[in-house]
Amino acid sequence: MTKIDKDTIKEMAFWVRVRIPDDEAAKMAEEFTETLSWIGERLKNPEIQTVPPMVTPFDEQIPLRQDIVTDGHQVQAVLSNAPDATPEFFCVPKMVE
């Protein structure tokens, strides 16, 4: 059985770059452990060993195309919603002193 503790929840929160207070993380860990136990029971069904995983409902051939730019040279459009930008670049907080 998979047991999820508070620290695991906090680590996962960090991976998706959000914060979660200790008490909420503890509550989520408890609830998620229970949910995983329920899911685990459902997935014990031996039938699942007889089929492949279904990744998409799309049942046609997914096309390939040349790896070339088809809509480039739109710097202004790309930057138009940036919270902070120079005429050609996105700006982020200073990373190297």
Partner 1 sequence: MTDLTDLTLSETLKGLAEKAFSSVEVTTAYLKKMEEKRHLNAYITETPEVALKMAEESDNRRANGQAGKLEGIPMAIKDMFCTKGIRTTAASRILSNFIPPFESTTTQKLWDAGAVCLGKTNTDEFAMGSSTITSYFGVTKNPHDETRVPGGSSGGSAAAVAAHMCAGATGTETGGSIRHPASFCQVSGFKPTYGRCSRYGVIAYASSLDEPGVLGRSIEDCARMIEVMMGHDPKDSTSSHRDVPAFHTMLDKTIKGMKIGIPKEYTELVPDNWEKAIQFLKDEGAQLVDIDMPHTEEAGMVYYVVSQGEATTNLARYDGVRYGVREEGKTLDEMYMNTRMAGFGQEVRNRMILGTFFTSAKGYNDYFVPAQKMRSLIKQDFDRAFEKVDVLFSPAVPIKPFTIEEAKHGAAKGRFNDNYLMPSCLTGVPAGCANNGLQVIGRMWDDATVLKVLDVVEMMK
Instruction: List contacts with partner 1 (CB under 8 A).
Output: 2, 4, 8-9, 12-13, 15-20, 28, 32, 35-36, 38-40, 42-43, 45, 47-49, 51-60, 62-63, 65, 74, 77-78, 80-84, 90, 92-93, 95
Work out the angle at residue 58's Cα, subtended by the Cα atoms of residues 56 and 61, and round it to the nearest 5 degrees: 115
* 51-59 own/partner pairs: CB under 8 Å, 24+ apart: none
Minimum gap (Å) between residue 59 Cβ and partner 1 = 6
Nearer to partner 1, 18 or 69 (CB): 18
Is 62 within 8 Å of 43 (Cβ atoms)?
A: no
